[in-house]
Amino acid sequence: MSLETPRVSSSAEEYLLTLYRLETSNERAGSSQLAKMFGVKAPSVTGMLRRLGERGWVRYQRYRPPELTDEGRRIAVRLVRRHRLLETFLVQFLDYSWDEVHEEVQQLEHTVSEKLLERIDIKLGRPRYDPHGDPIPGQDGRLPSHRLIPLTRLQEGGRAQVSRVDNRSRHLLTVLGEIGAYPGTSVTRLRTRRNGQLSLRVGRREIQLDGDIARLIWVKPNRAPVAMQARERGM
């Protein structure tokens, strides 16, 4: 019920956000894995999950991986919005590069007021995607959706637009930054040279990428793109 902002601590917010990210990528993590992500020890995680459970933000039973409640998810989505708007702002207005922006925002996202966030949103022209191509939830929590395929599923000779780059690999971001392959860039997939490697034309340059790197790049094909779309969920 509470439309009042119900005082969520920074740590609690960080937990909910992480749980949400895991949920959307269909992963699940136990206490010790979460512990690693937060840089704390496992018992701290158990304790926090218990408290989050008491507040109704997480469904938690001992020895089971935790799940967000609707309320918890709502808080998390609000945070995703903050996070992505702030990233966009830092990149566009303060010359941050897309591979250094995450850490900074990690701090800020818990502190920035609704008012400031709104001004930033306005200043940016209410963007719908962040610098990595991730969709920015609206104030109502709705996400703009787009149908994308991983670069690895683009047929040889196919042309597509880079639309989203998984931001969990700084290495990938740096590499793509160097060749200027930001969301919006057009690429053409060339004949594959050797196994595992994948060739691309970006502008007038030609580059090779490892398969497991290429899988982190999502593209919007220009037309009739893909052989076996049915199996996409599988991976």
Which residues are near a second copy by CB under 8 A? Answer: 90, 93-96, 104, 107-108, 110-113, 115-116, 119-120, 123
Please report how close the Cβ of residue 184 comes to a second copy at its closest, in angstroms: 24
Cα separation, 97 vs 167, whole angstroms: 12
Residue 110 binds which of a second copy, DNA, none (CB < 5-8 A, kind-dependent): a second copy
Neighbours of 177 (CB within 10 A): 14
Q: What is the 3-state secondary structure (H, E, C) of 30-82?
A: CHHHHHHHHCCCHHHHHHHHHHHHHCCCEECCCCCCCEECHHHHHHHHHHHHH
| Interface stretch with DNA, choices 35-43, 116-124, 140-148, 158-166 (CB under 7 A) | 35-43
Which member of 17, 19, 45, 68 binds DNA (CB under 7 A)?
Answer: 45
Which member of 24, 25, 30, 180 binds DNA (CB under 7 A)?
Answer: 30
- Which of 10, 2, 12, 113 lies closest to 57 in space, CA to CA? 12
Kindly state whether residue 167 participates in binding DNA, applying the rule CB under 7 A: no
Q: Which is nearer to a second copy, 37 or 116 (CB)?
A: 116
Nearer to a second copy, 37 or 112 (CB): 112
112: partner contacted, choices DNA, a second copy, none (Cβ within 5-8 A by kind): a second copy
Which partner from the list DNA, a second copy, none does 202 bind, CB cut-off 5 to 8 Å by kind? none
Residue 38 interacts with DNA (CB under 7 A)? yes
**Only segment of 38-46, 113-121, 201-209, 227-235 that touches DNA (CB under 7 A):** 38-46
Minimum CB separation of residue 96 from a second copy in Å reads 7
Least Cα distance to 108 among 117, 98, 96, 119 occurs for: 117
Nearer to DNA, 11 or 185 (CB): 11
Structure tokens at 191: 């004949």
Q: Are 211 and 152 in contact (CB under 8 A)?
A: yes
Alpha-carbon span 130 to 156, nearest angstrom = 28
End-to-end CA distance of the chain: 38
Burial of 151 (0-12, 13-18, 19+ CB in 10 A): buried
Closer to DNA by CB, 7 or 204: give it: 7
Give the chain's radius of gyration (CA, Å).
19
Q: How far is the CB of 23 from DNA (least distance, A)?
A: 16
State the Cα–Cα distance between residues 163 and 221, nearest whole angstrom.
10
CB of 173 to a second copy, least distance (A): 17
Binding footprint of DNA on the chain (CB under 7 A): 9-12, 30-33, 38-51, 62-65
